Chains A and B, each alone.
Chain A
Amino acid sequence: MQNAVKGKDGITRYLVTIKVNGDEYTRIVKANTLLVNFLRDELDLTGTKRGCELGDCGSCTVLLNGKPVDSCLVLAVEADGQEVTTIEGVAGVDGLDKIQEEFIKNGGLQCGYCTPGMIMSAKALLAKNPKPTEKEVREAIAGNLCRCTGYVLIVKSILAASGQEMETYYE
Chain B
Amino acid sequence: MYIPDFEYYAPDSLDEACQMLAQFGGRAKVLAGGTDILPKAKTFSPIAPPQTPLPEILVSLKNLEELKKIEYVPGKGVVIGALATHNDLVNSELLNKKYMSISEAAHQMANNQVRNRGTVGGNLINAVPSADLPPILIALNASIKLVSVDGERVLPLEELFLDVCVTCCTEKEILTEVVIPDQKMTGSNYIKFGARRSGALAIAGVAVAVEVENNVIKDARIVAGAVAPTPIRTKKAEDFLKGKEVTAELLEEAGVIASGECKPITDIRGSAEYRTNLVRVLTKRALRKAIDQGHV
Give the residue of B60, B87, B198 whose beta carbon is less than 8 angstroms from that of A78.
Answer: B60
Does B39 sit at the interface, judged by CB under 8 A? yes
Question: What is the distance, in angstroms, from B91's C-beta to the closest C-beta of chain A?
Answer: 10
Instruction: Mark interface residues in A37-62 (1 if CB within 8 Å of B CB, else 0).
Output: 00000000000000001111010010
CA distance A56 to B42 in the complex (A): 14
CB distance A74 to B7 under 8 Å?
A: no
Q: Residue B215 at the A interface, CB < 8 A?
A: no
In the assembled complex, the CB of B14 is this many whole angstroms from the nearest CB of chain A, namely 16
Residues of A within 8 A of B1 (CB): 53-54
Bound: A11/B283 CA distance, A: 52
- The interface size of chain A toward B, counting residues with CB under 8 Å, comes to 32
From A61, A67, A74, B87 is in contact (CB under 8 Å) with A67
| A contact residues around B197 at 8 Å (CB) | 142
Judging by beta carbons under 8 Å apart, are A30 and B5 in contact? Answer: yes
Task: Give, as a whole number of angstroms, the nearest-CB distance from A44 to chain B.
Answer: 19
Q: Which of B9, B34, B112 makes the CB contact (< 8 A) with A74? A: B34
Q: Which residues of A contact B6 (CB under 8 A)?
A: 31-32
CA distance A14 to B8 in the complex (A): 9
Q: Mark B1-27, 1 if CB is under 8 A from A, else 0.
A: 111111111100000000000000000
Contact between B42 and A12, CB atoms less than 8 A apart = no
CB contacts under 8 Å to A, within B28-66, are 31, 34-35, 38-39, 42, 58, 60, 62
B272 within 8 A of A: no
Give the distance to chain A from B92, nearest Cβ to Cβ, in Å.
15
With A14-B8, A30-B5, A142-B199 known to touch, is A78 a contact of B62 (CB < 8 Å)?
yes
With A55-B35, A74-B34 given, is the CB distance from A68 to B113 under 8 Å? yes
- Which residue in B8, B112, B198 is a CB contact (below 8 Å) of A1? B8
- Whether the Cβ atoms of B117 and A1 lie closer than 8 Å is no
Question: Restricting to B66-88, which residues have a CB under 8 Å from any CB of A?
Answer: 87
Q: Which residues of B contact A124 (CB under 8 A)?
A: 112
Most buried by B among A11, A30, A124, A142: A142
A27 to chain B, nearest CB (A): 15
Residues of B within 8 A of A55 (CB): 35, 39, 110, 113-114
Q: Judging by beta carbons under 8 Å apart, are A54 and B7 in contact?
A: no
Q: Given A77-B10, A78-B34, A143-B110, answer yes or no on A70-B117 (Cβ-Cβ < 8 Å).
A: yes
> Is A32 touching B4 in the complex (CB atoms < 8 A)?
yes
Residues of B near A32 (CB, < 8 A) are: 2-6
Q: For residues 102 through 152 of chain A, which have their beta carbon under 8 Å from a beta carbon of chain B?
A: 121, 124, 139-140, 142-143
Does B116 contact A68, Cβ atoms closer than 8 Å?
A: yes
Whether, in the assembled complex, B111 has its beta carbon less than 8 Å from a beta carbon of chain A, the answer is yes
Residues in A neighbouring B5, C-beta threshold 8 A? 11, 30-32
User: Which of the residues B9, B34, B87 comes within 8 Å of A75, measured between beta carbons?
Assistant: B34
- Residues of chain B within 8 A of A58, CB atoms compared: 111, 113
B243 → chain A, closest Cβ, in Å?
41
A69 interface residue per 8 A CB criterion: yes
- A70 closest partner in B (C-beta): B113
Chain A's closest residue to B44 (CB) is: A53
Point out the residues of chain B lying under 8 angstroms from A11, CB to CB: 5
Does A91 count as interface, using CB distance less than 8 angstroms?
no
B39–A54 CB distance below 8 A: yes
Question: Is residue A73 within 8 Å, beta carbon to beta carbon, of the partner chain?
Answer: yes
- How far does the alpha carbon of A69 sit from the alpha carbon of B3 in the complex, in Å? 19
CA distance A74 to B258 in the complex (A): 40
Q: Interface of B with A (CB < 8 Å)?
A: 1-10, 31, 34-35, 38-39, 42, 58, 60, 62, 87, 110-114, 116-117, 197-199
A–B complex contacts, Cβ < 8 Å, 8 sampled: A31-B7, A61-B113, A75-B8, A80-B10, A139-B112, A142-B197, A142-B199, A143-B112
